[in-house]
């Protein structure tokens, strides 16, 4: 299995973006490509060629599931694993997110110290 190095993260909330970026770069050692919207993620992702995509569910414009649908229309991203980050992590919602193509869901608020390990565990178990 390929090593997880580069993560594209779409999140419209600057504070959460900053905490996640710091946690994933400093603790996880990942290269992070930040996007502030789903539309930006769809624009940037093909050129960024991420190993994994993290999507906030609630974003203005394109939400997480809509963004995932658009990303899947891009040949180079059809197989790129996607994890949703959301405060809406009830079992029924998690199942719905998996049905639209996410490999897993991480609940917000997330623990910055544990975030990289959570993502690695999901990556390795997919």
Half-sphere exposure of 73 (CA within 13 A, CB side): 8
Which pTM value belongs to this model?
0.96
- Look at residues 27, 38, 47 and name the one whose alpha carbon lies nearest to residue 119: 27
Q: Tens place of pLDDT for every residue, the chain, 126 residues?
A: 689 999 999 999 999 999 999 999 999 999 999 999 999 999 999 999 999 999 999 999 999 999 999 999 999 999 999 999 999 889 999 999 999 999 999 999 999 999 999 999 999 999
pLDDT at 82: 98
| β-strand partners of 86 | 107
Tokens 């623990």, located at residue: 111
Q: Which domains does the chain have, with CATH numbers?
A: 6-125 (3.40.50.2300)
- Look at residues 24, 1, 3, 8 and name the one whose alpha carbon lies nearest to residue 76: 8
């Amino acid at each position: 299995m390929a090593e997880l190095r580069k993560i594209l993260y779409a999140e419209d909330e600057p504070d959460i973006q900053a905490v996640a970026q710091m946690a994933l770069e400093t603790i996880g050692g990942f290269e992070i490509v930040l996007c502030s919207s789903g539309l930006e993620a769809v624009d940037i992702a093909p050129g960024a060629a991420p190993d994994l995509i993290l999507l906030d569910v609630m974003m203005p414009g394109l939400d997480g599931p809509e963004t995932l649908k658009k990303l899947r229309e891009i040949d180079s991203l059809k197989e790129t694993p996607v994890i949703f980050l959301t405060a809406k992590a009830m079992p029924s919602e998690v199942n719905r997110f998996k049905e639209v193509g996410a490999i897993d869901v991480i609940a917000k608020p997330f623990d910055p110290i544990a975030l990289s390990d959570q993502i690695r565990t999901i990556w390795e178990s997919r």
